[in-house]
């Protein structure tokens, strides 16, 4: 009985925000300590795209973006074989495992075509924006603030302002 109650408490019921924040903070410190690098997500997607382009014969490593901003691959690493790809794959698999353990995995039907179009446009804009800002909310906010970087606080303020404006637009014009 105690095991079932503990399992439900850990896997089925939502954790308090402060517990999740502490766990994420400790994991971020552990990552920084063990790898010497901050947590990044979007760069791995950039590497996946560049790797697929290489497969079809395009050489993205010659592009200005990679030469000007250093592709950050260490000696011997490729677009498909590097620590960022491994970390992102672990994050996706860990997320999948957590929803499976909580019995929360399900496919949702789209309400309408408008929802699909706005989701697609939003995803493209978010991806483009992360490359312009050299990171998403993980690298630009979550990893920046613990390393005492001012840009993390500026990003955080504008992220919340943007989310507030975006939610107003969403409820007024889209939903």
Which tens digits make up the pLDDT trace of 112-136? 888 888 889 988 888 888 777 767 7
Q: What's the predicted TM-score (pTM) here? A: 0.68
Q: Angle formed by the axes of helices 42-55 and 113-132, to 10°? A: 100
3-state SS, residue 138: helix
Query: Quick check: 52 pLDDT over 90?
Result: yes
Express as a percent the part of the chain with pLDDT over 90. 7
> Stretch 99-110: mean pLDDT, rounded?
83
* CB contact burial 110-140 (16+ within 10 A = b; e otherwise): eeeeeeeeeeeeeeeeeeeebeeeebbbbbb
């Amino acid at each position: 009985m105690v095991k079932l109650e503990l399992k439900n408490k850990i896997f089925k019921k939502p954790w308090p925000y402060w517990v999740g924040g502490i766990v994420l903070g400790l994991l971020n410190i552990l990552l920084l300590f063990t790898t010497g690098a901050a947590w990044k997500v979007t760069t791995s997607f950039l590497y996946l795209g560049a790797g697929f382009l290489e497969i079809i014969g395009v050489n993205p490593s010659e592009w200005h973006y990679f030469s000007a901003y250093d592709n950050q691959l260490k000696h011997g690493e490729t677009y498909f074989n590097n620590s960022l790809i491994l970390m992102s794959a672990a994050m996706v698999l860990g997320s999948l495992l957590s929803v499976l353990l909580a019995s929360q995995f399900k496919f949702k039907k789209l309400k309408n075509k408008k929802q699909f179009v706005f989701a697609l446009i939003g995803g493209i804009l978010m991806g483009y924006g992360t490359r312009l800002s050299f990171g998403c909310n993980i690298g630009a906010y979550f990893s920046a603030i613990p390393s005492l970087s001012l840009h993390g606080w500026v990003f955080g303020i504008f992220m919340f302002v943007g989310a507030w404006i975006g939610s107003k637009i969403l409820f007024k014009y889209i939903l």
